[in-house]
Structure 1
Amino acid sequence: MDLSNSYLNKPNLKTLSLDTENQETPIHFITDGITPTKYFYRRNHFSYPNLNQQSLLLPVYGEVNTPLTFPYCYLRSMPGRSIVSVLECSGNKRAYFNPKTYGDQWQDGAISQGIWKGVSLSNLLNLTGIKNTAKEVLFIGQDQGTRTDLDGIFNYAKSLPIEKALHEDTIIAYELNKSIIPYEHGFPLRLVVPEWYGMASVKWLKEIQVIDYKFEGPFQTIDYVYYPNKYNDKGAVPVTTIKINSIIKQPLNYSLLDTKTHEIFGIAWTGSGTITDVELSFDNGSTWKKTNLYGKSSQSYGWSNWRYLWEVKDKGEYTIMCRAKGSAGNIQSLEAIWNRKGYGYNAVYTIHVKVE
């Protein structure tokens, strides 16, 4: 039996939960710069929503001069904007926190990179005209359900400060990887907010409201907040910009290798500036060796690929550490900042291999 083209030789999404559906990208086996849509990670807070004809209309109202409702077909007829951007769940790598934190135990695959096309949100807001009283822009999704900590039914909803909402690359997307956004990823319309963790990129957009107050919905002020203390909320700050991070794609952790030259490769990314260097250490961080960056996205929102040729002559066990540096002066540290909900893990990436 020829298995060369069978599903047995292809990666699959890694399922963390089915209700709601949360699945990881097989990131260690994706060599394309753009993540194929079928391998995009899935992060849901509720069951998938039921859509109807009303879902093809996007109302924009609130602190605006002219409230408008934009039909899906009209949005697609407007001047489009395409961006290449990382989408990363803020809980990516949660499984590595010590002590452990509660929630889906994401490892490395709550991250993907796509070509997003849509219309700049600023174009819509300019058409409606923002009042001087506006403070935030609120995005409400079609998806809804109950929570374990509060009574009632909630729609997934998040807000952005006016400045971030007006950035030209904050878009209302209708395409992913040059095709209509799949239902699982937010069809017909989803917000895409480059540089910020994926919780800001609201799927299945139902409506946009310009508000004159600070939004305090549960996904804004309870979830997606860094709580540095286990038993109280002192020092809590919102989760926003993606932290500098990296992974070693290959070799895999606890691989068996032989004595020859091996290619070590992976990706690095950041929400602040761009990646300038990725370094490896083979002596527990005493010295660091630069890798070769390549295949960098033409836009600052994409990850950087890197590779390193490692010539190993001696048998034994090795620890390989990886860290990224950025143009904003940011660098991965040896330890991530622990927080109660397990967001933003970005410690130096470490694998162990044995050479036989």
Structure 2
Amino acid sequence: MKPTIIPFLTTRKLNPENQETPIHFLPQTITLKEYFFIRNHFEYPTQTQEAYFLPIVGEVIRPIIFKLEDIMRMPSKHLMLPLECSGNNRAFFHPKVYGEQWEDGAISQGLWKGVPLKDLLALIGLKRTALEVVFEAYDYGKRMDLEGDFHFARSLPIQKALHPDTLIAYELNGKPIPFKHGYPLRLIVPQWYAMASIKWVKRIVVIDHLFKGPFQEIDYNYYPYKDSDKGKTPVAQINVSSIIQQPQSYSILDNGKHVVEGIAWTGTGVIIEVEVSTDGGESWHKAILGQEQSHLYSWTFWKYDWKVSSKGEYLIMSRARDSFGNIQPFKAKWNRKGYGYNAVYTVKVKVE
């Protein structure tokens, strides 16, 4: 019996802990918790289930403090979806940008269970003045660019907060959310980059103005110019994207048949097509999707059977298209904080 080969996370930083999923070696639809990518801004917080309460205050009619067991008794729903760090693939921007040098493993897919946020807000009632919903996390620390301590906090516009699939989640893959991934409650925002899906939710505040916290106003914005804030726009929906899991770049292959395979996902609609080029983009061929089109929110696996008879070096590319007509560009839109990279995925291989 052959021994089981177990992949490892790729460490980008130890404190705060930031780890990449071994995305090229995971064929499962659901990422096991052991391989789920980890993105932190600060050290891990400290809180216990016994002391856990969730206040919802602000522009509401009946402010309330929910107990964890109150939330878990409410009608719930399951959603399978990927969480992707907005800095995923940052290392591939040219010119290079500062920040955590994520390659392609800052993405994982899980099965989340929780209560729609709109149901909690319906119980307490929103005032007409409600404009945004702010989520404050338990983790906090210092920033190099500002004085004082800051909790990680971000807001959602009221329309997104009231979307029926925006969840206050308490389970991942059928079990309580692991501590490193937000236990006991995590906000899950489908089709948005993972900075919106705040871990360790401490409190929720409904406000009548635009939230100006540093993780909203400074970070998680696209800045198209190196030395100017002109054209600044917020990071929100996930860009359509794909990766080639196998073969990996700089692999040496033999003549014959090979399977080029990977994953595709999007933040708008569903994946309807993946194309593969084995000649550096000169010609494109349709890959076979894992299903006719991806399920709403979830990624889809794809494969392309490649028969190669000539020795030499080959540039293999993949590009995905979604139901809104979005397609991966040959070059990602450069921005100085390195968010939203989604250029055509490319690997270089040699056939001997």
- TM (norm. structure 2) is 0.98
**Residues 1:88 and 2:84 aligned together:** yes
Cα distance change on mapping 1:223 and 1:296 into 2, 3 Å = farther
The equivalent position to 1:326 in structure 2, one of 322, 325, 329, is 322
- Give the length in aligned residue pairs: 352
Aligned residue in 2 for 1:221: 217
8 Å CA contact 1:121–1:171 kept in 2: the answer is yes
Aligned residue in 1 for 2:249: 253
1:140-165 Cα offsets, whole Å, 9 max, x none, are 00000000000000000000000000
Aligned residue in 2 for 1:4: 3
Aligned residue in 2 for 1:33: 29
- Larger deviation, residues 270-279 vs 51-60: 51-60
User: What percentage of residue pairs aligned between the two structures are identical?
Assistant: 56
Using the TM superposition, give the Cα deviation of residue 56 of structure 1 relative to its aligned residue in structure 2, in angstroms: 1.7
**Residues 1:282 and 2:278 aligned together:** yes
**Residues 1:310 and 2:310 aligned together:** no
3-state SS of paired residue (2:39): coil
The equivalent position to 1:16 in structure 2, one of 12, 18, 23, is 12
8 Å CA contact 2:272–2:292 kept in 1: the answer is no
- TM (norm. structure 1) is 0.97
Distance 2:49 2:26 in 1: 36
Cα distance change on mapping 1:281 and 1:244 into 2, 3 Å = same
**Residues 1:351 and 2:350 aligned together:** no
Aligned residue in 1 for 2:226: 230
Cα distance change on mapping 1:340 and 1:241 into 2, 3 Å = same
The equivalent position to 2:93 in structure 1, one of 93, 97, 103, is 97
Aligned partner of 2:126: which letter?
A: I
Aligned residue in 1 for 2:158: 162
Distance 1:254 1:173 in 2: 40
User: Which 4+ stretches in 1 moved above 2 angstroms?
Assistant: 52-55, 295-299
Distance 1:160 1:344 in 2: 19
Aligned residue in 2 for 1:132: 128
3-state SS of paired residue (2:69): helix
Distance 1:275 1:306 in 2: 11
Distance 1:17 1:31 in 2: 26
Aligned partner of 1:4: which letter?
A: P
Cα distance change on mapping 1:55 and 1:40 into 2, 3 Å = farther
Aligned partner of 1:229: which letter?
A: Y
8 Å CA contact 2:294–2:300 kept in 1: the answer is no
Alpha-carbon RMSD: 1.2
Using the TM superposition, give the Cα deviation of residue 299 of structure 1 relative to its aligned residue in structure 2, in angstroms: 3.7
8 Å CA contact 2:252–2:351 kept in 1: the answer is yes
8 Å CA contact 1:33–1:295 kept in 2: the answer is no
Distance 1:260 1:212 in 2: 63
Aligned partner of 1:33: which letter?
A: T
3-state SS of paired residue (2:205): strand
Aligned partner of 1:239: which letter?
A: V
Matches within 5 A, 1:41-190: 41-52=37-48, 56-190=52-186
8 Å CA contact 1:296–1:302 kept in 2: the answer is no
3-state SS of paired residue (2:320): strand
Cα distance change on mapping 1:33 and 1:296 into 2, 3 Å = farther
- Larger deviation, residues 211-220 vs 287-296: 287-296
Distance 2:292 2:70 in 1: 34
Distance 1:59 1:298 in 2: 37
3-state SS of paired residue (1:146): strand
8 Å CA contact 1:297–1:303 kept in 2: the answer is no
Unaligned runs of 5+ in 1: none
Using the TM superposition, give the Cα deviation of residue 297 of structure 1 relative to its aligned residue in structure 2, in angstroms: 8.4
Aligned partner of 1:343: which letter?
A: Y
3-state SS of paired residue (2:148): coil
Distance 2:41 2:312 in 1: 45
Distance 2:11 2:323 in 1: 35
8 Å CA contact 1:296–1:303 kept in 2: the answer is no
3-state SS of paired residue (1:283): coil
3-state SS of paired residue (2:330): coil
Using the TM superposition, give the Cα deviation of residue 296 of structure 1 relative to its aligned residue in structure 2, in angstroms: 7.2
1:143-200 Cα offsets, whole Å, 9 max, x none, are 0000000000000000000000001100000000000000000000010000000000
